[in-house]
Structure formats: structure tokens, C-alpha cells
Structure 1
Amino acid sequence: MEPSAYHHGNLRRVMLDAALQAIGESGPTGWSLRELARRAGVSHTAPTHHFGDKTGLLTAVAAEGFDLFAATLEAAGGDFREVGVAYVRFAVRHRSHFQVMFRPELYRPADPAVAPARARAAAVLSSGGRALSPDPARDRLTTVAAWSMAHGFADLWLSGALADAAEIDPETYARDLITLAFGHLHHPKA
């Protein structure tokens, strides 16, 4: 990228893109702001001026990720299976965001840019858990169980831990897993 990108007001996007690429290559902690500045073709002080520090940049990555994540889950509608599939779809398509979002020690979770999108995503997950649970007293437990399944499968998929991952479609597999584990619990509430 050319150094003039900063002068045109694109530093935020340029740095976010550089961070997402670096996260994809070496994980959320395997790079420095100086390295990202070099990749982006800007001065080594430009990222610090804009984000403050690495935590500030990761907070921006998390905020963007949770906003995209919430929109993805909302677009899935009210069917708990499709919300779970959307969860996995997001993880596969936005791997770098996903690697940061669920590691709150890397960013500032209470940041005003993170908290609302995170709450939107949590509301969709909670709604799905309530729809899935046959017992209102167990809604939270059911929500966490379904969330754990979707997140665990996504993490196993992304890490390469599933030996046959290249041979299966993650969305189809996620749908089948969710149906296998929770299909018998689905009792739509009036």
C-alpha cells in the first residue's frame, strides 16, 4: 500500500486490513504495530496516533467483528439451527475477526464501539436458546450449550483439528450437528 493512503484519510481501514492479514498469518499476537505500519506503507507512529496501542487496534478489530457477527446472526432469522449455521459461517468467512473477538484479554470489551455489537449478538443467541429450550428455567443453560457447540465446532474447523475438514462443508456439518444434539428439544413456544 502506498504511504499516501494515510493522507487521504484511509489509515483506519488500511491498518485494520493490515491487522486482519497479520492475524490470519500469525495469529492475534504474532505481530507488532511497527510491522503493520511497514506493511501499510505508513510511518511507524501513524498507527499509534490513530489507535493508541496494539490493544486499541485489536479493540477496533473486535468492534468491527462483533458488528459483522451480529448482522450475520440477525440475518439468519429465528430458527436456532440457522443461527448456529450462521455462527459457523461467520467464523469461516471472518477468521481473523473470530480469533480476536472471543479473547477479551486482547482488547477492551467495555469499549463503546464493542459493547453494543457484542450485546446485539448475545441477544440473538439468547433468543435462539429461549426458542430451543423446553423449560424456561433452563433457557440460559440451553443457550450456553448451543453456543458451546457452534463455537466449539467452528474452532475445531478453523484449527484443522478435524481430520476430514477438507472433505465436508462446514455449514452443512454444523446444521447436522445442531439437529443431532438439539433437534429433539425444539418446541416452539406460543
Structure 2
Amino acid sequence: MAKNGYHHGDLRATILAAAAEQIASAGVDAVSLRNLARHAGVSHAAPTHHFGDRAGLLTALATEGFELLTDQLEQAAGDFREVAVAYIRFAREHPGHFDVMYRHNLLHADDPQLRAARIRSGAALRSGVSAMQPERNPQHQQASQLAAWSLVHGFASLYREGALDNSVLATDLDPEVLARLMLSTIRFD
């Protein structure tokens, strides 16, 4: 974000957007409240007023990420493959959020807003698997839901980290095409 980019708008949103951008390009270790304030053209105390500390900033970013993820998952609700592709699309479109959402050691994990947002996104993700197995017992559904989450999160992480670049397994450059091919081989019995 350019210096003096903040012009009496929503400073909280400006700082969150700058943090997401910085994490996506330079990693979470590069984020500091002082640098974000400098880029926004505000006093170094301004971000502290909104977030308290770095963990508060990352918690707010993770909460926003879970809310954005939930929106995308709910648009695809009921169809496991579409929910899975929406998860992968989210990771691709919001890498700064994705990179902090599951990093409990960096967050205020007991934050009520974070917990509520995480619960909502989990329910939206599980809905696709549940729709495929309405008659299964809860223990089997839970195991299938964990397998599905592991599959899509693992794929999204591999893509995000560049592990699929030049891989003989990556037969297409579009991660959604690759994901759909992968998901077409999955059966939850």
C-alpha cells in the first residue's frame, strides 16, 4: 500500500487489507503494526488502538478470512465437489488470510468472534459431505468430513506453497481444473 494511502476512511479495514497483502507477498513474519501504520500514513499507535497487538491484528485477519470463506462455501452449499473447489478458490484468492487462519500459535485462539467465524465456516464445509451421506451414522460422517477437509486443505496448501509447480502430477496449470480432476476420483462410502 502506498504511503498516505489512508484518507479518513475505515482505518481498520485499510490495515487488514495491507496486512493480507503483505502476508501474501512476504509471509506472516514480515507483518508489524508499526510498518502497517507507516504504509497507511497514520501514527504507529493507531493500529494498536484497533487491534491491541500483533496477535490481535492477525486474529482479526483470520476472523475476516473465515467469514469470507464461509460466504464462498455457502454459495456452493450442498455439493461436495463445488464446496471443495470453493475452498481451494478462497485459498487462491485470499492467500494472506489463508496463511494465518489455521496458525493458532499466532492468534488469540479464544477470541469469541474468531471461534464463531471458524464454527460457521466448518459447518459450511461439512455440509457438502453431509449431503453425500445423509443416512450414515454420525461417527462415519465425521470421519468423512475430516478426510474431505484434509484433502481440500492439503491441496490448497500445496498449491499456495508452490509444491505443484513443475510437478508431474499437475497436469493442468489451473488449480480448479486440477481439483475437479482429483475430486472426481473420490467416493465417500
- Give the Cα–Cα distance (whole angstroms) in 1 for the partners of residues 176 and 39 of structure 2: 34
Amino acid at match of 1:36: L
Task: Write out the 4+ residue segments of structure 1 that deviate beyond 6 Å after TM superposition.
Answer: none
Residue identity in the other structure for 2:148: A
Alignment pair present for 1:147 and 2:149: yes
Match of 1:125 in 2: 125
1:126 deviation in Å? 2.2
Residues 62-84 of structure 1, C-alpha deviations (whole Å, 9 max, x = no match): 11111000010000020101100
* Deviations 1:108-146 (CA, angstroms, capped at 9, x unpaired): 233232222211111122222323347423111110111
Q: Which moved more, 1:112-121 or 1:80-89?
A: 112-121
* Rounded Cα–Cα distance in structure 2 between residues aligned with 1:166 and 1:80: 22
Q: In the alignment, is the contact (CA less than 8 A) between 1:73 and 1:124 conserved in 2? A: yes
Stretches of structure 1 that go unaligned for 5 or more consecutive residues are none
- For 1:99 and 1:118, locate their aligned partners in 2 and report how far apart those are by CA, in whole Å: 15
CA distance in 2, matches of 1:166, 1:44: 47
Shift in alpha-carbon separation, 1:47–1:144, aligned structure 2, 3 A: same
Q: Give unmatched runs, 5+ long, in structure 2.
A: none
Aligned ranges 1:24-173 → 2 under 5 Å: 24-133=24-133, 135-136=136-137, 137-164=139-166, 167-173=172-178
The one-letter code sitting in structure 2 at the alignment partner of 1:117 is A
Give distance in 1, aligned partners of 2:70 and 2:153.
15
Cα RMSD (Å) = 1.9
For 2:182, the equivalent position in structure 1 comes to 177
Q: Per residue, is there more helix in 1 or in 2?
A: 1
How far off its partner does 1:166 sit? 9.5
2:171, 2:31 → 1: CA distance?
28
Q: Is the 8 A contact 2:172 2:178 kept in 1?
A: no
**Structure 1 residues 74-116: Cα deviation after superposition (integer angstroms, max 9, x where no partner):** 0002010110000001000011100011112211233232222
Report if aligned partners of 1:73, 1:86 keep a CA contact under 8 Å in 2: yes
- Whole-angstrom CA distance in 1 between matches of 2:171 and 2:89: 15
Give the TM-score normalised by the residue count of structure 2.
0.88
Judged with a 3 Å threshold, the aligned counterparts in structure 2 of structure 1 residues 130 and 77 are, in CA distance, closer, same or farther, namely: closer
